[in-house]
Structure 1
Amino acid sequence: MKTNPEFFPMTGLATRFVNQLAQCRRLGLQVHEASEHHVLLELPYNEALIGYPDTGVLHGGVITTLMDTASGCAVVCAIKQKFASLEISPTLDLRVDYMKPAQPHKPIFGFAECYRLSSSVAFTRGFAYQDSIDDPIAHAVGSFMRISPEMIGDAFRQALMGDEQ
């Protein structure tokens, strides 16, 4: 799925962020779109991630990772847009409420938004879903610690900024 950078200007940054994380590469997470307001990721179905062999349903921990990544990525994009800087923002708290199991053999999408930035904490909310965001698999809320831009190493900064430097 190709996105229009005019409508989703943070997609490149979000893609580079996700690709820097080993667990995201292993899970095959893909960024569909990203803006200063939201991030949309896709987790492709993979039989290696099944948590319930009798049903083919993916393990809940994989969905938690999807939502943690989508939420953290939304924080990176919101900070970049608002302050024109990069910050490391580790997860302080993440709550994922599971509403129903994901259907086997279908991708899962993770939508997250950073709805508030305080001086030291970023707050997120989002949904994991398959066919419609109006029929979620899970709901997530999180908080992320804001750490000074100076704490980002040069190699990580260069990897995230890509050609935007």
Structure 2
Amino acid sequence: MSLTSEQGSLTGMASRFVEQLTQCRKLKLKVLEASGKKVLMELPYDAQLVGYPDTGVIHGGVITTLMDTASGCAVVCSIFDKFQLLEISPTLDLRVDYMKPAEPHKPVYGFAECYKLSSSVAFTRAIAYQDSIDNPIAHAVGSFMRISPEMVGEEFRLALMGEADDNA
């Protein structure tokens, strides 16, 4: 799935956002593409993520984390693209509907879109899939609180903008 050609700087910012989150580093989540409202991420298969040892199926909580993170990234990108502001946006609500288990030994992709921004809440929809987005593992809808740019710590802002001092 391809997003828009303007994605370069937003993909970098989304990648840096994910790298700031410890659970995402542990899960080895990777941003593949990001645009003004959409994010595509990859969760590589890892035996440590298996919730059902007899089947090799990834635990549902890991799929939820993928969808929550992709949705949060889509919110950050959407706000930055529209307002040129960096806001943090914690999850208010996330509803995930599981349709089938992920196939073992294959990566899972999370595609999320921020489809509506209000003054205080952002709304998202997301799909987790493997071979085709038309054959989802799960889908989610979420809402995220918008917190003013003043609440973003300087160190976090610099890290997301790619301006962090690596020697600090």
TM-score range, shorter chain: over 0.9
Conservation of the 8 A alpha-carbon contact between 2:3 and 2:38: no
**CA–CA separation in structure 2 for the residues paired with 1:90 and 1:7:** 26
**CA–CA separation in structure 2 for the residues paired with 1:93 and 1:104:** 28
**Structure 1 segments of 4 or more deviating over 4 A?**
none
Per-residue deviation, residues 2-37 of structure 1 (Å, max 9, x unmatched): x99944231001000000000000000011000012
Matched residue of 2:65: which SS? Answer: helix
Matched residue of 1:76: which SS? Answer: helix
| Residue identity matched to 2:71 | S
| Residue identity matched to 1:132 | S
**CA–CA separation in structure 1 for the residues paired with 2:17 and 2:108:** 19
Aligned ranges 1:1-165 → 2 under 5 Å:
6-9=5-8, 10-163=10-163
**CA–CA separation in structure 1 for the residues paired with 2:115 and 2:159:** 26
**CA–CA separation in structure 1 for the residues paired with 2:124 and 2:3:** 24
**CA–CA separation in structure 1 for the residues paired with 2:66 and 2:14:** 13
Matched residue of 1:104: which SS? Answer: coil
Conservation of the 8 A alpha-carbon contact between 2:76 and 2:87: yes
TM-score by length of 1: 0.95
Matched residue of 2:7: which SS? Answer: coil
**CA–CA separation in structure 1 for the residues paired with 2:129 and 2:59:** 14
Conservation of the 8 A alpha-carbon contact between 1:100 and 1:138: yes
Equivalent pairs counted in the alignment come to 162
Matched residue of 2:161: which SS? Answer: helix
TM-score by length of 2: 0.93
**CA–CA separation in structure 2 for the residues paired with 1:131 and 1:163:** 36
Conservation of the 8 A alpha-carbon contact between 1:5 and 1:11: no
5+ residue gaps, structure 2: none
| Residue identity matched to 1:114 | C
Conservation of the 8 A alpha-carbon contact between 1:45 and 1:107: yes
